[in-house]
Amino acid sequence: MMGMHLLCNIQIKTLNQFIMPLFRITLDNRLENVKISQFRKERDLQIFVEQNMEFLFGIKFLESEYSIPNGRIDSLCIDEMCVPIVIEYKKKKDLSAIIQGLFYVDWLRNNRRTFEMIVREKSIDKMEVDWRTPPRLLIIADEFDQKEATSINQINASVELIKYSYYGDLISFDQINIPKTSSNFTITTQYQPIATSENEILSIESVLAKASSRIKGIILKLRDFVFEISDEIDEKVASTMIAYYSKGKGMIWIAPFQNKFTIHLRKGEYENKYNFIKANGWGGYPELHVGVDHYNDEIENYVKEIITQAYNN
């Protein structure tokens, strides 16, 4: 077929299956089915994800095939909020992958110094591991069934099932469950508390507890603005910051202090007309620093512009 083609991705979600046919729209406005492919080996899937991890999910890759007693962790990672991540890959649906992954998460909790040493060895500047937020377990496979989706609802852990669809030169990743540690974007006035593995409650109130009343008001107002940008923005609460995700990865991370706040930004280009932005801050991400003494209507509009730029980056 000559010329450019448009791609149309139609997702149909049923109780027991996730069907994701992909069609190519031809120049004469007809549809051609794009046939699904398979990775030759499970390891090929793993290598692909590890090479593109930060672009796909906004998380930093640390180690591949990391050996521990009685097992080997497929991918050991850390996210933008400094929360440890274990990733397990399966070419086909396999309920045992969740059990195996939870075993690795338990090892991680009991070997914190080892993980922190790995982070330091990878020279990830200013990333202090957040152990108050439960470590995340990602299971990546091309198929899940209802048993897997249902079983994780009974688990007091942050488990994310990510389905991939591979079409040779096209690939998509879809999270098919909402992990327990997420606050959904539809909650705009009620704050959802999150119980950690240490029985600590994480909520927007707990993150804002150390901030002055002025900083609290500013951040809550910016929070409302973030939700006005797009319905597809998700909110997650960690121990020291509030994160907003779009396009499958982190957009901004707001960290409040007594009389200032910092917004860690998705990597990209930003207008730095007030010299508030540090180009290479926490974890290598740009940072916007604003003190309460500088904050006025003009600065508020500028901060909103920067947040919009983060969404578009």
Residue 222's pLDDT is 95
Query: Which residue among 126, 146, 175 closes a domain?
Result: 175
Query: Which residue among 155, 175, 195 closes a domain?
Result: 175
96 within a domain of the structure (yes/no): yes
Over its length of 313 residues, how does the chain's per-residue pLDDT go in tens digits? 333 333 434 333 433 444 557 888 988 889 988 888 888 889 999 999 999 998 888 888 999 999 999 899 999 999 888 889 999 998 766 667 888 899 999 999 999 999 999 998 886 666 788 888 889 999 998 888 776 666 666 666 678 888 888 888 888 888 777 665 433 323 233 333 444 444 456 788 888 988 999 999 999 999 999 999 998 888 888 878 899 988 778 899 999 999 999 999 988 889 888 888 888 776 678 899 999 888 999 999 999 999 999 999 8
**Residues 154 and 192 occupy one common structural domain:** no
Domain, as residue range, for 88:
42-175
The partner residues of 278 in beta bridges, in order of sequence, read 287
Distance (Å, whole) CA 160 – CA 173: 12
**Residues 279 and 232 occupy one common structural domain:** yes
Distance (Å, whole) CA 249 – CA 109: 24
H/E stretch holding 218 reads helix 213-229
Query: Which residue among 175, 201, 218 closes a domain?
Result: 175
Residue 257's pLDDT is 93
Distance (Å, whole) CA 155 – CA 139: 14
**Residues 252 and 160 occupy one common structural domain:** no
Which residues are within 8 A (CB) of 227 and not within 5 positions of it... i.e. 6 or more apart?
185, 188, 233
Distance (Å, whole) CA 160 – CA 98: 10
**Residues 193 and 129 occupy one common structural domain:** no
112 within a domain of the structure (yes/no): yes
Residue 12's pLDDT is 35
Spatial strand order of the sheet with 84-90 comes to 60-68, 71-78, 84-90, 136-141, 158-166, 171-175
Do the bridges between strand 22-25 and strand 6-9 make them parallel or antiparallel, or are there none, so unpaired? antiparallel
**Residues 170 and 187 occupy one common structural domain:** no
> For the purposes of burial, counting CB atoms within 10 Å of the CB of 160, is it exposed (0-12), middle (13-18) or buried (19 or more)?
buried
Domain count, the chain: 2
136 within a domain of the structure (yes/no): yes
**Residues 220 and 269 occupy one common structural domain:** yes
Question: Which amino acid, one-letter code, is at 23?
Answer: F
Residue 90's pLDDT is 87
Give the CB-side neighbour count of residue 282, counting CA atoms within 13 A: 20
